[in-house]
Amino acid sequence: MVTPQKNNVDIGVLSINPSTTSLEAVEITAERPHVEYKLDKKVISVDQNVASTGGTAADALQNTPSVTVDIEGNVALRGSGNFTVLIDGKPSILEGSEALQQIPASTIQNIEIITNPSAKFDPEGSAGIINIIMKKQKQSGINGVVNATAASNGTFGGDMLVNLRKNKI
């Protein structure tokens, strides 16, 4: 026992027997976050979004901060439907929600949401800009989207978009 009067104690010789344990190989996997925040934009990784599987760009934007999608697929950016849609940085011929409902999520690599666009962008989209970065398709093939609508008053509607990719022109 160590006391103030007896501050040194001889415990004898301690022997340590070495022992080793071998571990199996360890594999570490990680995924990028679904939404990545950059200085001037949010980048949504569509491949990691389970909700967008088999859906459209509007489906891929569900559960994204500052974006709301209603039951009919209408998209609002920061509470406004007045936003610009770019496809690979070029203006879309379709407007807002209409463009996002026509693009299959399986053809999208990322979606960029720019809520405070710089001077290089046209200021038409007052709520911001949604830039859709498409996957670079190298194989020929066919894909499409079919939309059907029905209302309680007995009216029906629908549309279809089909894309065919062949060799480069």
Domain assignment present for residue 2? The answer is no
Q: Is it the case that residue 69 has pLDDT exceeding 70?
A: yes
Domain assignment present for residue 92? The answer is yes
Domain assignment present for residue 19? The answer is no
pTM check: above 0.85:
no
Domain assignment present for residue 1? The answer is no
What confidence tens digit (pLDDT) does each residue in 133-146 have? 988 866 677 777 77
Domain that includes residue 97, residue range: 35-138
Domain assignment present for residue 39? The answer is yes
Contacts of 114 (CB under 8 A, 6+ apart): 40, 41, 121, 128, 129, 130, 131
Domain assignment present for residue 66? The answer is yes
Number of domains in the chain: 1
What confidence tens digit (pLDDT) does each residue in 98-122 have? 888 888 888 888 999 988 877 776 6
For residue 110, the domain's CATH number is: 2.170.130.10
3-class state of residue 107 by DSSP: helix
